[in-house]
Amino acid sequence: MSDEQTRQGWHRHPNGGGWVEDTAQAADTAYVGPDAEVSGYAEVYGHAKVYGHAEVSGDAKVYGYAEVSGNSKVCGNALVYGDARVSEDAIVSGHVAVSGDARVYGYSWVFEGVINTGEIEDE
């Protein structure tokens, strides 16, 4: 979306200034960076961070101390939580969970339990 000052049906997050669609939820304790977006019915809560040009959408949930950054996308019914990291151009989508100390990064994707293992770590 554009860098316009206001968008109908959206608001700026108080901790980071990122865009949050009015139908989505982002707790004040979470961080949504200025170029990040939370849309649909997605939820970001706890001490989770969404930053860079990352997007969390659909019914996805990001919580705990998880981080979504870069140009990555978390969508569908995906869960990202614990200390998990999704970064660079990675995509996590569908009915999947990325948790613990897992890392999904680069051009990797996780979709409906299928993992492209090119650049995925589980520490």
Q: If pLDDT is split at 50, 70 and 90, which confidence band does 106 have? A: confident
Which residues face 55 on adjacent strands?
37, 73
pLDDT at 116: 52
Query: Is the pTM value of this prediction over 0.85?
Result: yes
At 4, the amino acid letter reads: E
* Cβ atoms of residues 86 and 98 within 8 Å: yes
Sign of the Cα pseudo-torsion (69, 16, 81, 77, in order): negative
User: What is the band of 115 on the pLDDT scale with cuts at 50, 70, 90?
Assistant: low
Mean pLDDT, range 19-29, rounded to an integer: 98
Strand ranges of the sheet holding 91-93, from the earlier edge strand across to the other edge: 10-12, 19-21, 37-38, 55-56, 73-74, 91-93, 109-111, 114-115
Q: If pLDDT is split at 50, 70 and 90, which confidence band does 118 have?
A: very low
Mean pLDDT of 91-109: 90
Q: What is the pLDDT of residue 7?
A: 85
